[in-house]
Chain A
Amino acid sequence: MGDVIAVALIGLVGGAASGLLGVGGGTLFVPAMVLILGKEQHLAQGVSLVVIIPTAISATLTNLRGGYVDVETAKWVTPLAIAFALAGGYVAGLLDGDTLSRIFGVVVLYVGTRTLFTTWRTIRRERAAERASA
């Protein structure tokens, strides 16, 4: 019973993160399956990829109705993204994946931190302007 509730919660939280953030949700699904459900890493990745497909379709149907999908951009980016993801996956097998991931971690951390500060500053400036004009 505990496992059923855990699975339901992992799906709900991962799905919500996917719909909100525009990502697959594997970042959440994979560690949750390994740490909470005790699944093996590769199996967790496989299950995660399967779950991502209907999850992303579910959110996309709502996004299409809302008119938020930039279809023209998706048409140009998607085929290349798939081809080069396969190429990247192949190259990853030839290199030290751990070091690569850590280097990329620094880049993601930098982009995230920079975005956080610039956005936070803009929000504060706008609120100050609103207060001044009120």
Chain B
Amino acid sequence: MDRQRAIFTGTVGGFVSGLTGIGGGTVMVPLLTGLLKLTQRRAHATSLVIVIFAALAAVSQYIIRGEVDWALAAALTVSSVVGAQIGAHVMHAMPDRELRLVFAIFLIVVGVRLLVFG
């Protein structure tokens, strides 16, 4: 692993995601594949680790301001944890190129959303 590139990825990826308010994964995955040459699958798996810590860091502000509906969060978590298992298993089974294609479509959807709604 190229440490300089990893440092660059963390710095730029983190800053852009904080600046635009979109989650780290959308910015991290292309940097992990493009700059650090991870396979698509490893990039998705590694990005999620970063997402855990980034969400932990960001959520405190919302808790302090009282902007969390805990009952709703608990209800959503029940099914989202199951969904995550399905998603991870599909990711493991999917060839790298097809996974790349699906991620590209996701990026286009996010890009259009940002462009239209700001």
Interface residues of A (CB under 8 A from B): 4, 7-27, 29, 31, 33, 37, 39, 42-43, 45-47, 49-60, 62-63, 66, 68-70, 72-74, 76-92, 95, 97-102, 104-113, 115-116, 119-120, 122-123, 126
A-B contact pairs, 24 of them (CB 8 A): A4-B75, A14-B76, A19-B83, A23-B26, A33-B72, A43-B69, A47-B72, A49-B58, A54-B80, A55-B80, A56-B49, A62-B88, A73-B1, A73-B46, A74-B49, A80-B11, A81-B9, A84-B14, A89-B18, A101-B20, A109-B107, A109-B115, A119-B104, A123-B98
Known contacts A15-B83, A21-B102; is-contact A51 B24 (Cβ 8 Å): no
Q: In the bound complex, how far is the Cα of B22 from the Cα of A50, in angstroms? A: 15
Q: Is the CB of A108 within 8 A of B24?
A: no
Whether the Cβ atoms of A101 and B114 lie closer than 8 Å is yes
Q: Which residue of A lies closest to B60 (CB)?
A: A49
CB distance from A72 to the nearest CB of B (A): 5
Instruction: Please report the C-alpha to C-alpha distance between residue A49 and residue B113 in the assembled complex, in whole angstroms.
Output: 19
Give, as a whole number of angstroms, the nearest-CB distance from B14 to chain A.
3
Residues of A close to B85: CB separation below 8 A = 15, 19, 58-59, 62
Contact with A along B69-86 (1 / 0, CB 8 A): 110110111111111111
Number of A-B contacts (CB under 8 A): 386
A73–B44 alpha-carbon span in the complex (Å): 12
Residues of A within 8 A of B54 (CB): 24, 78, 81-82, 85
Distance between Cα atoms of A43 and B50 in the complex (Å): 23
CA distance A53 to B57 in the complex (A): 10
Give the residue of A19, A47, A52, A58 whose beta carbon is less than 8 angstroms from that of B23.
A52
A70–B45 CB distance below 8 A: yes
B73–A47 touching, CB < 8 Å: yes
